Chain A
Amino acid sequence: MRAARLKAAATVGAVALTLTACGSSSGSGGTASSKSTLTVAGVIAITGASDFEGQNQAGGILPAIYAINKAGGVMGHKLAYKGVDTRADPADALPAVQQMLATTSNLVMVAGPGSNSAPTIVPVLNNAKIPMTAVAGESAFDRTKDPYFWRLFPPDAANGTAMALWAKQKGYTRVAAVFGTDSGSQGDLPGVVASLKAMHIPLVANISLTPDQPTYLSSVHRLMAAHPQVIMTESDATTAGTFFGELKQLGGLVPIIGTEATFTAPWITAVKGALGASTFQKDFTSLITAPSSKTAAVTAYEQAVTADKAQVPKPWQSYLNNPFSITYWDGMMCVALAMDAAHSTNPQVFNKYIMQVANPGPGKVKVYTYAQGVKALKQGKKIQYYGATGLIDFNRFHNSFGNEEAVGSSGGPQPVELGIITAKQIEAVPVVGVP
């Protein structure tokens, strides 16, 4: 862990970006300058093999902070982001998070933790009474009782089930699974395997790829020998580029169904580069958390990403449709509105308002942006924040899952919508034995 810690240290401790300057133009929170800054900590892998997690997060949380500050901050308090690097390793994450808890004043929320370090870090944050908007796919959190845990994201298994349902809709009867042995990819594999089994679709090959090998020719050959009609896959971008490049060159390419994680810029760039743009557009589908129809919430998100493009990691356009980034945006909005509703920046006070400002209910006003929410709350109304990810409805375990959507690549940053798999359909599949 040390070396790793060392990296963690680096942490980009990074990213302690203070965004106050950007938002001072707005008038609604006139006393902004005199109030203390509130810290939002991102507990996520910022360096190392899973560094894309940190980019996904920055791509959504930084615009959210920008937009809130621009609207005058939370009751006049500006927000600032502080990155805490987990390197996706619990041994690195633990001291880094404790250091963060010890040295951060006015900490109101944690964005994260991500998969892998979550089982170690969630209890620590819960004990410290800091609300967290986790993007951790472990099904162990489906029924968590930790009051400070919030998840607006389906467990990994749900994504696998949606992939299997899509394959069934398309009439595929021979499926091959090609997954990297890195932890991100392995998280999604059991859901795929169990769902295919539950739906009686034969898995003709299950191939694992050790990342960063110079060649995967033998694995390619094995895959081709199994004659699949479709490949379900997730791996890191480099590995995917090499593997699919070789698969295409040897003439074995069949349609690809990727997990949600494949619908991110590095993966798409690598595989599009290896296959050529036209082949890629023809053969690639990904199942992602369904983006909402174009509501005011989506527009607000897109505007904020565009306005804050200098702060987010490159390329900024990729976050416009990045399902992970949008989730972080919504999480931030829920927490900020909860503070306004509770008239408090004390997490122990506002934590229970998070569900109140998001879930639908009788007599609630639907709001799509932070500014709308603040206005409605000031008028004494109850609100339902309808997010850029669509409807948010936390269950009693503080989980909110939406529908899944099959999307393809258009060549540009905008995805092509191919079809919807509803949360109901996913729940109806009798999947057993997944994490």
Chain B
Amino acid sequence: MSAWSFYISTLVVYFAVDVLSGVSINLQYGYAGVVNLAYIVFQSAGAYIAAVTTLGPDSGAGAFQSYVFGAHLPYPVSLVLAALAGAALAGLVGLFSLRRMRRDYQGAVLLIVSLVALQVVTADVPLFNGSNGLTGVPKPLGSLNLSLQGYQWAYAGWSMLIAAAVYVVVRRLSRSHWGNALRAMRDQEDAASVIGLNTTVMRMQVFVIGGAIAGLSGGLLVQYIGAWSPGAWGYAETFVIFTAIFVGGLGNYRGVVLGIFLVPTLFLELPQFLPQIGYPGLIDSLEWISIGLMWTLSLYFRPQGFLPERKNVALGVPLVTVEETPALVATAGRR
């Protein structure tokens, strides 16, 4: 039935977007130990930029939204700009949040960034049309002349293709010497600095790469939905992806994909099929309570997740301490 086809294809697009988010957060947190509790802000930056660069100028006839940077750019350009916007914003935020400081401080600072960004965009209407957000974002791939259903699956396929490509690239990056250096920094920052790794610069690198992926995911999503508003990026959105990673397996990309399938796709979609219990909104609260419990319990019982981080594949030795850290030695040798 075609309605099912619409529904499933939508879930596929959302899944692809979530996989991009998972990959980005896993690179930042799982490998480099940077806890980006503002992830959703960078996704949102991409979404807004992809939207305004295809909506056209906001001064035209019949225009009813106000925003900056209005333009009619051809398709893949807007998506590339979305990724660049995510990266640029990450660079800006990274300037003050990636100094060497306690990681819990860093997490708190980024959480605050997430809240403030939301408040500013909501309140400053000329920026991205405030709380009403942007609507009417044109659909890309229009020139393909597909049926409605064909379009759905074409977009779903395109999203999965992008997600798969990013997945492969980031996994390779993580297994390079650079990836080893990240893990060395995560586990033994002092030692990593001693052997000459500039940890602040490395953190900035992962933060910007992660920001680009976030922006890309936002662009992909907004051009599918056609609208974006502050309602879509509350700070708690980030927690869902973190929970998925905790459940699936921190530092393990396959675990991340598994977690994304289990938490946002399966766990959050299934309750829609349940009959109502209690007052309207109860299932909603219960879902959030479950997310919190999943998050807390996985940190208690299985901090490594279902699929734990692989040992250093290149060398077959775990990264444990400085003395036993070939990754550090190997990295140092290269420099």
Contact = CB atoms under 8 A, between A and B. Distances in A.
Is A–B contact present in the complex under a CB 8 A cutoff? yes
Instruction: Say whether chain A's binding surface is mostly helix, strand, loop, or mixed.
Output: helix
Interface in A43-94: 46-49, 51, 54, 58, 83, 85, 87-92, 94
A374 interface: no
B280 A12 contact: yes
A140 B288 CA distance: 35
Contacts of A102: 1, 3-4, 6-7
Contacts of A117: 227
A91 B225 contact: yes
Interface string A130-147: 000000001110000000
A10 interface: yes
Interface in A1-26: 1-7, 9-17
A95 B133 contact: no
Instruction: Say whether chain B's binding surface is mostly helix, strand, loop, or mixed.
Output: helix
A101 B7 contact: yes
B291 A98 contact: no
A103 B7 CA distance: 10
B280 A89 contact: no
A98 B123 contact: no
B64 A96 contact: no
A169 to B, nearest CB: 28
B157 interface: no
Contacts of A7: 284, 287-288
A358 B50 CA distance: 43
A38 B284 CA distance: 26
User: Which of A47, A58, A98, A210 is most buried by chain B, counting CB atoms within 10 A of its CB?
Assistant: A98
Interface in B244-272: 264, 268-269, 271-272
A340 B99 CA distance: 70
What size tier do the contact residues of chain B reach?
35 or more
Nearest to A11: B272
B281 interface: yes
Interface string B7-19: 1001100100010
B239 A16 contact: no
Contacts of B130: 181, 183, 186
A181 B132 CA distance: 9
What size tier do the contact residues of chain A reach?
35 or more
Contacts of B119: 210
Nearest to B280: A12
B232 interface: yes
B125 interface: yes
B274 interface: yes
Contacts of A99: 7, 269, 272-273
B133 to A, nearest CB: 7
A40 B216 CA distance: 38
Nearest to A189: B125
A154 B6 CA distance: 32
Given A7-B288, A102-B4, 20 more contacts: A1-B233, A3-B239, A3-B288, A5-B268, A6-B284, A9-B287, A12-B276, A12-B282, A14-B283, A47-B284, A90-B133, A90-B135, A90-B229, A90-B232, A116-B133, A181-B123, A181-B125, A183-B132, A210-B122, A434-B64
Interface of A: 1-7, 9-17, 46-49, 51, 54, 58, 83, 85, 87-92, 94-96, 98-99, 101-103, 116-117, 119-120, 124, 127-128, 138-140, 181-183, 186-187, 208, 210, 313, 434-435
13 contacts: A4-B234, A6-B287, A7-B284, A10-B287, A12-B276, A90-B228, A94-B10, A95-B7, A102-B4, A102-B6, A139-B64, A186-B131, A435-B64
